[in-house]
A = this chain, B = another copy of it.
Amino acid sequence: MPDTHPQFEALKAHATQTGYLLSSAALLEWDQQTKLPSSGGQYRSEQITYLAKLIHERETDSQLGDLLHELSESQDVLGAAPASDIATTVRELKRKYERQVKVPSDLAQALAGASSKGQQIWVSARHENDFSLFQPALEQIINLKQQQADAIGFDDCRYDALLEEYEPGGSTREVNSVFDDLSAELVPLLEQLKGCGQQVDSSVLHRVFSIATQEAFVKQASAKIGFDYKRGRLDTTHHPFCTEIGPDDCRITTRYNETFFSSAFFGTLHEAGHGMYEQGLRGDWYGLPPGQYCSLGIHESQSRLWENLVGRSEDFWKYFFPMAQDAFSDALSDVTVDHFHRAINEITPSLIRVEADEVTYNLHIIIRFELERSLIDGDLAVGDLPEAWNEKYQRALGITPPDDASGVLQDVHWSAGLIGYFPTYSLGNLYASQFFDAANTQIGGLGELFAKGDFTPLKTWLNENIHQRGKCLPPKELCKEITGEELSHKSLIKHLKSKIVRTYGPTA
């Protein structure tokens, strides 16, 4: 199909214009987190709400629907390969359009309102350390999410309709199956580690690391692995994130802790991994499915890959540790690279997801996945959630939260109506490990390259195999095509076992 096909050009123009509004809204939100004067919040919400309204109007515009309908039945699209740019554009925009129009506008508005109010109530409930304050808001959100799932429709279970938002083509059954496999390996692995009696001394990470030096060091490291600062920037926020405000404008954030090295360093590598995905997308298809990220799971695979598979590897620190010692000579001059490497890989069951290590992190996710699925299916009442949460933590991690703030109230997601989102974090870990294995096989000797400070071959491989594919393939097919394997727990478990042996010795 020639690019001059008028209906396809009209479709692209429509999506491109929506993209101007989406990216403007992204700037309003980035600025709110990073630069907005303290009194500016009220009006900023109004600006964002108004832009969201304009975006929703465009995304549910019946002219868009007509265009998509006609194009999807045209020979040009029917005859194109499913992974072609044209078929992908029409299929994915149609998928999104149909999801949007299936939800009645009063339900969409009720959801937006409940999510906005829910987050505010969550903030105070967490501050008061009292789940009961949040319970009515969460009940309303669960109820509305159930209605949303019913409006969208599903084959197997309601949760499918919600998961689909973040992981197109994913199914609850498949996620459940791979998470069961993962859990069946992780829980005994953790038991075994507890029993082995070996300890890691991570106190060196809690020495004094001047924030100005950290800022320079994390910027240097993220640039070295491939985050392009001519097309992006790094700022400080309370909650780190990555956002894109244009094809050449990807912004990441981090937070600094003067007495904990890992917080800013690994946080920045993580966000830089997200950022390098955004920077690796096809700019000429910006705002259109061939130039958009595949799924949240694949997005997370990129952040986890750089944070953990690369950034916590021994070879990475062969290159970076001498620089770290130069930069932080007071804190690190008496530390060996071996000691440092074991410290950054310490494994300890803990209560807070965002502080968890590579092994226990997935258990935090599996708990949330099981709980939110039961809430949506109606098998678990919101009032019984804290008890169910605590039981699951005791069973999986051997610890029980002493209160709601360090338990069921720790994450913002549910209060914001994000249900079906949590599993994408562990899907990211699984994909990351599989992708890394494939890259290592295909490129050969990644570790040796890292030890020399050469991250370009890996970045190029990710650019070509993942980033430039956009949404042309659904996540499962992308995985199959580039790794030759289905999504599975095996690669990640192999990686974690080897990490444990390296960190805790062969008896662990």
User: In the complex, A23 Cα to B36 Cα: how many Å?
Assistant: 13
Interface residue A438 (Cβ < 8 Å from any Cβ of B): no
Q: How far is the CB of A15 from chain B (nearest CB, A)?
A: 13
Contact status of A24 and B31, CB under 8 A, knowing A37-B248, A248-B40, A248-B43: no
- Which of B35, B245, B248 lies in contact with A42, CB distance below 8 A? B248
Q: How far is the CB of A6 from chain B (nearest CB, A)?
A: 21
Which B residues lie within 8 Å of A17 (CB)? 50
- Of A31, A37, A38, A231, the most chain B CB neighbours within 10 A belong to A37
Interface residue A51 (Cβ < 8 Å from any Cβ of B): yes
Interface residue A324 (Cβ < 8 Å from any Cβ of B): no
A 214-254 binary contact with B (CB < 8 Å = 1; else 0): 00000000000000111111000000000001111110000
- Which of B51, B245, B250 lies in contact with A24, CB distance below 8 A? B51
Among residues of B, the one whose C-beta sits closest to the C-beta of A229 is B37
- Which of B20, B43, B46, B246 lies in contact with A40, CB distance below 8 A? B246
Among residues of B, the one whose C-beta sits closest to the C-beta of A39 is B248
Q: How far is the CB of A251 from chain B (nearest CB, A)?
A: 8
Is B286's CB under 8 angstroms from A20's CB?
no
- Which of B39, B43, B228 lies in contact with A286, CB distance below 8 A? B43
Which B residues lie within 8 Å of A54 (CB)? 54
Q: How far is the CB of A245 from chain B (nearest CB, A)?
A: 7
B-contacting residues, A23-66, CB 8 Å: 23-24, 27-28, 31, 35-40, 42-44, 46-47, 50-51, 54
Chain A: interface size category: 35 or more
Among residues of B, the one whose C-beta sits closest to the C-beta of A41 is B248
Interface pairs A-B: 9 shortest CB-CB: A43-B246, A40-B249, A20-B50, A39-B248, A39-B231, A39-B230, A40-B248, A38-B230, A20-B47
Is B28's CB under 8 angstroms from A31's CB?
no
Is A40's CB under 8 angstroms from B286's CB?
no
User: In the complex, A37 Cα to B27 Cα: how many Å?
Assistant: 13
- Of A31, A42, A43, A44, the most chain B CB neighbours within 10 A belong to A43
B-contacting residues, A396-438, CB 8 Å: none
Which B residues lie within 8 Å of A51 (CB)? 20, 24
- Which of B21, B47, B229 lies in contact with A23, CB distance below 8 A? B47
Among residues of B, the one whose C-beta sits closest to the C-beta of A249 is B40
Is A249's CB under 8 angstroms from B36's CB?
yes
Q: How far is the CB of A236 from chain B (nearest CB, A)?
A: 13
Query: Can you name 28 A-B residue pairings with CB atoms under 8 Å?
Result: A17-B50, A20-B46, A23-B47, A24-B24, A24-B28, A24-B51, A27-B27, A27-B31, A31-B31, A35-B35, A35-B233, A37-B229, A37-B232, A37-B248, A37-B249, A38-B230, A39-B230, A39-B231, A39-B249, A40-B246, A40-B248, A40-B249, A42-B248, A43-B248, A43-B249, A43-B286, A47-B246, A54-B54
User: In the complex, A247 Cα to B43 Cα: how many Å?
Assistant: 7
Which B residues lie within 8 Å of A23 (CB)? 43, 47
A 69-91 binary contact with B (CB < 8 Å = 1; else 0): 00000000000000000000000
Which B residues lie within 8 Å of A232 (CB)? 37
User: In the complex, A144 Cα to B27 Cα: how many Å?
Assistant: 34
Which B residues lie within 8 Å of A47 (CB)? 20, 23-24, 246
